[in-house]
Amino acid sequence: MNMEAVMGVLLGIGLGAACGFRIFVPLLVASIAIHGGFLTVTPEFAWLGGTPALITLSIATLLEIAGYYLPVIDNTLDVLGAPAAVIAGTILAAGFIGHMDSMLQWGLAAIAGGGAAGVIHGGMA
């Protein structure tokens, strides 16, 4: 495995873990960085840097942040947040893990990125 692949795996795990704290904020940050040309992802995840994704993730992030100030919405976010954090962590990790077999990419993304997000989110809940 070359250094670029190792950095992609580490970045994916880090962003996946960040999804355990806030689900949409890491996705939004990654989207902004990809849109601005500061980060590159595998070709199948180029959509994450597109304008529709940027707008959608901005709205979702604002709603997520606002939801933490309303107890009813906060409790709902805690319940729905666990699977959403794992999914978001897996997607982000897979987007940065490239140059390997598809099965290995998604397996590593699910275990490392999704697992890190799930553990962090579970610890916070």
Give tens-digit pLDDT for 7-23: 777 777 777 777 777 78
Total domains present in the chain = 1
Closest CA to 16 of 72, 73, 96, 99: 96
Give tens-digit pLDDT for 28-81: 988 999 999 998 888 888 898 999 999 999 998 988 888 878 888 778 777 777
What is the C-alpha to C-alpha distance for residues 54 and 59, in angstroms, rounded to an integer? 9
CA atoms within a 13 Å half-sphere pointing along the CA-CB vector of 111: 7
Answer whether residue 125 shows pLDDT above 70.
Answer: no
Range of the domain at 81: 3-123
